Amino acid sequence: MKEFGIIHHRFWEWAQENELSESAKLIAVYLLTCRHANSLGCFRIPYQYASADLGYPIDRVSKGYSELQKKGFIRYCEQSKYVFLPKYLRWNPPQNVKHAKGIYKLAIKLPSSFTLKDKILESCEKYLFEFLDQDAIDTLYHTLSIPYQEGTNRVDIPMGNTGTGTGTDTGTGTGTDTTNCSELSEHTSEPATDSQNSSTDENKSNPKEQDKSPVVYEIPLSGKDQPMFGVTQEMIDDWQEDFPAELKHINNRMAV
Confidence label for 125 from pLDDT (cuts 50, 70 and 90): very high
Q: Which of 53, 87, 121 is the last residue of a domain?
A: 87
pLDDT average, residue stretch 205-217: 56
CA angle in degrees (0–180, nearest 5) for 246-220-224: 135
Count of CB atoms within 10 A of residue 50's CB? 24
Number of helices followed by number of strands (H, E) in the chain? 12, 7
Task: Indicate the SS3 state at residue 52.
Answer: helix
Per-residue CA distances from 171 to 195, 202, 219 (Å): 20, 10, 24
State the Cα–Cα distance between residues 88 and 32, nearest whole angstrom.
Answer: 9
Q: Kindly give, in sequence order, each residue whose CB lies less than 8 Å from that of residue 162, ignoring residues fewer than 6 positions away.
A: none
Task: Find the helix packing angle between 134-144 and 117-127, rounded to 10°.
Answer: 160
34: domain CATH number is 1.10.10.10
Count up the domains in the chain and report the number: 2
Q: Which of 87, 106, 122 is the last residue of a domain?
A: 87
pLDDT average, residue stretch 208-230: 61
Interval 106-115: pLDDT, tens: 999 999 999 9
Domain assignment of residue 81, yes or no: yes
Domain assignment of residue 224, yes or no: yes
What does R_g of the chain's alpha carbons equal in angstroms? Answer: 26
Domain assignment of residue 152, yes or no: no
Domain assignment of residue 146, yes or no: no
Domain assignment of residue 148, yes or no: no
Q: Which of 33, 55, 87 is the last residue of a domain?
A: 87
For residue 237, the enclosing domain spans 215-255
Confidence label for 230 from pLDDT (cuts 50, 70 and 90): confident
pTM: 0.57
